[in-house]
Amino acid sequence: MPAQLTMYTTQWCAFCRRLKSQLARDGITMTEVDIERDPAAADYVMSVPTVVFPDGSVLVNPSAAQVKKRMAELAPSG
């Protein structure tokens, strides 16, 4: 099973909704953490970017293309 992408979101974030939709369309799954429901996650997001990749690398407000590219780079070859 491939490692999972983690995305920190809120219900009102237009960027989050758009990125989630684009990633779903491209077949990229994620673990979603709603920072309004998880105070520890909210504190975490205040100190790090919004998307954390399986290898621990991060991007701030990336486009779907940037996420797709990075996930492809992390995919096992073969």
User: Per residue in 15-70, pLDDT tens?
Assistant: 889 999 999 999 988 999 999 999 998 888 777 657 889 898 988 888 889 999 99
* Per-residue model confidence (pLDDT) at position 1: 44
* Per-residue model confidence (pLDDT) at position 78: 56
* Per-residue model confidence (pLDDT) at position 2: 55
Q: What secondary structure letter does DSSP report for 38?
A: -
Taking the complete model, does pTM exceed 0.75, yes or no? no
Structural contact between residues 31 and 6, judged by C-beta atoms closer than 8 angstroms: yes
